Amino acid sequence: MVERASQSFGTVSIIGVGLIGGSLARALKDSGRVDTIIGCGRNAENLDQALDLGLLDYWTHDPQEAACAGDIVMLAAPINAVISLMPLMERALRPSAVLTDVSSVKRSVTQAARSSLESKFPRFVPGHPVAGSEKSGASAANPDLFRNHWVILSPLAETDEDALDLVTDMWAATGARTRLMDESLHDQVLGMISHLPHAVAYALMPLLDTQAARDDCLTLAAGGFYDISRIASSDPVMWRDILLHNGPVVRELIAKYRDTLGELDRLIESADGPRLESWFANARELRSAIQELRPPGKPDSE
């Protein structure tokens, strides 16, 4: 029996050749374990750039053409686009093909897959790499984007074991680590560690825009403000979809964050120096714990 580690993934079709799709293409090319990578998207300039960069072997605007040819079909588009593609995937996928995705919200995508894919639903492996950047497009592709990062896979009771094994192996070839997680828990956890922070970063920008000293704020923004606002440079379409599809979780977290800010406001109002210092010390201790849990080689900026 041939070991899986020596096997090729065959043809990988990536629908959505942005930062994540492009980085996956580059990492798989570098692994030497893919025969052909087909890219699919609407922006010809971006796809031509991906071709010029060696990320793709060829590209098409037609997702059905891409899906028909793929042994692994990756949906790396914004969530609304992924959901809208599910009926087409049911018609286009070969019975042996495996479908997976990189969506940051799992329940909505899984529900769409369950209602659309029919007999091919067991070949769908919901996934999400917990890695990224505020950059976008094929030009931002980074072969090390997933190295030492977690990729969460959320298989369902119906998911074929060999499909899960194949997607797990594919991500391992990029240097990522995989972790299985229920879709509802995924959406709750990512709501806290990703979706709420992005909401906060996006909310800071219009607040800055209202300041009387707006131009001075823009000129002097550095350090803390620069770091926390970095992710507000992320793709607006992608984040629109994420916050809409994980809306209940994010709204609950926003309410709790509002309460936490209220607690901080009361400590400042009462000029309670000792409790403020304790509050900050506890926060620093928790932040240090996060830092200690990060694998070696993981950059501070992602």
Span 12-69, pLDDT tens digits: 999 999 999 999 999 999 999 999 999 999 999 999 999 999 999 999 999 999 999 9
Domains of the chain from N-terminus onward: 4-181 (3.40.50.720), 186-293 (1.10.3660.10)
pTM for the structure as a whole: 0.90
pLDDT surpassing 90 at residue 162: yes
Instruction: Say whether pLDDT at 134 is over 90.
Output: no
Give per-residue pLDDT as tens, 282-295.
999 999 998 888 76
Tell me the three state secondary structure of residue 32: coil
User: Count H helices, E strands: the chain?
Assistant: 13, 9
* Residue 119 parent element (H or E): none
Question: For residues 38, 44, 46 and 50, what is the CA-based torsion angle, rounded to 10 degrees?
Answer: 30
In one-letter notation, the amino acid at residue 234 is S
**Phi–psi pair at 139, nearest 5 degrees:** -65, -20
State the chain's mean pLDDT as an integer. Answer: 93
CA dist 273 and 184 (Å) reads 40
Enter the tokens of residue 258: 């509002």
Distance CA 271, CA 261 (A): 15
**pLDDT higher than threshold 60 for residue 4:** no
User: What DSSP string runs through 41-87?
Assistant: -S-HHHHHHHHHTTS-SEEES-HHHHHHH-SEEEE-S-HHHHHHHHH
What pLDDT, on the 0 to 100 scale, is given for residue 3?
43
